Amino acid sequence: MDSQQPSDNGGNHQGQSQSHKPGHVDGVEMQHLPTPIPHPHIQYTQLFINNEWHESCSGRKIPVTDPTSGKLLCEVEEADSEDVDKAVRSARAAFQTGSPWRSMDASGRGLLLNKLADIVERDHLLLATLEALDSGKVFLMAYFVDLIATVKTLRYYGGWADKIQGKTIPVDGEYFTYTRHEPIGVCGQIIPWNFPVMMFAWKIAPALCCGNTVVIKPAEQTPLSALHMAALIKEAGFPPGVVNVVPGYGQTAGSAISHHMDIDKVAFTGSTDVGKLIQKAAGESNLKRVTLELGGKNPTIVFADCDLEHAVEQAHSGLFFNQGQCCIAGSRVFVEETIYEEFVQRSVEKARSKVLGNPLLPGVEQGPQIDQKQFDKIMELIESGKQEGATLECGGSAWGQQGLFIQPTVFSNVTDDMRIAREEIFGPVQQIMRFRDTGDVIRRANATHYGLAAGVFTNDINKALTVSSALQAGMVWVNCYNAMSAQCPFGGFKMSGNGRELGEYALQEYTEVKAVTIKISQKNS
């Protein structure tokens, strides 16, 4: 595919995708960087149930398009409630007492997760190419961020599999009491389109580590990497029914998972509005366990005593990473008044220098938005910023002659009541506000229904500790942003969701605690 041609509406980022040749990416010289597989064969397009490939019961298919060109990549089978029923029956059979999965040593589950990680590493290049094709994600980001995180997550939970253990409890009386941490059962998992393969690993790895079985629905826009992962799961040796992959739409397959009476737990990553529907469906069905990782309107607070160049860089990447399509995007940047003008100037320079184009090409830093619906929502919010009186410093328009590209956009003089300061935009739009004192910025940062993430930039350790403690967010980064790892819990306060993913904390979301008390003739303390 050819690089997108520039439009004529100004900005230094226009038309640089052919001439921009950075010498290094993350310390790796350009000539040694991986290149995507040209025109990869898309092998897996059916539903994956009981370690077999199935056509959908309805015969309907989902068109999968390339958001860079708008061209059809392929069609995959569309699961609906009947297909979800088949997948749940398969997962339930795999969870039955005495099944190969339930009889397996815990260390055996760890070995399978590590074997899966090995095979993902083998197919690293293909998976990164598929991610870039159907999501518009920059290929090198998919390769160096998403796929590496996927492998690390699988290995991390592979290590946990035989270390999940209960306690003995010294109860009163002639009894011996102990606890078991048991798998919950069949887990329904619904993942988003912005980090498809990484979210796949975030969901299945802790669930399988704890001994559960899974029915997972990838987003209808981005099913390709999940279906390839299904093939790798079978190759790794997971027994039939342990993992079932059912691409489908939220209103049908997603709703069927949320309402299903034989699914014991549902985990969802996506919008807050859909999270509410899933929690309601759980209550209306079998009160299944629910964990939700939802939206955010995350504050980044920049104090005058910070390393300004570093803060500008981190705030920029914290917002524009993955075309701004990130729940933890630092979309409310609060800057202390004395450095406000310089911060805005430097931020605009970075935004204008950003290289847009075909995400498969080297040197490109920003690809298209995922689909027309998201594109239109972002453009409507940009227009609201203009109308409500924010200063449009750069961007603000579509880019290129085809594809769903939006210019990197920066607004200054944003006030807290504007829509762009309150609503999750999920696009390449940075809002920069000013503040005068610490107490005021803490109050404003917390004045949102969300509470997912936050960033603080200061060289004063007391200020860093005070502000990070006061912020109502599940994750606070100090002098960094997006600093994530498989070992660290991920999740939010308030309407950003409930429960935690990653780290040891995620194990609690996939186990039930059983207390066993045995009457004994005589106790020895």
Residues involved in catalysis: 293, 327
Q: How far apart are CA 358 and CA 367, in angstroms?
A: 6
Tokens of 85: 């029923």
What are the residues facing 48 on neighbouring strands? 53, 245
Tokens of 26: 């993350």
**Closest residue by Cα to residue 194 from 473, 465, 424:** 424
**Residue 31: which residues within 8 A CB-CB, separation 6 or more?**
none
For 330, the 3-state DSSP assignment is: coil
Q: How far apart are CA 338 and CA 316, in angstroms?
A: 20
What are the residues facing 178 on neighbouring strands? 168, 516
Q: How far apart are CA 294 and CA 327, in angstroms?
A: 7
- Please answer whether residues 80 and 252 qualify as being in contact, where contact means their C-beta atoms are separated by less than 8 angstroms: yes
Tokens of 498: 């409930």
What are the residues facing 124 on neighbouring strands? none
Q: How far apart are CA 275 and CA 497, in angstroms?
A: 8
**Closest residue by Cα to residue 388 from 424, 359, 417:** 417
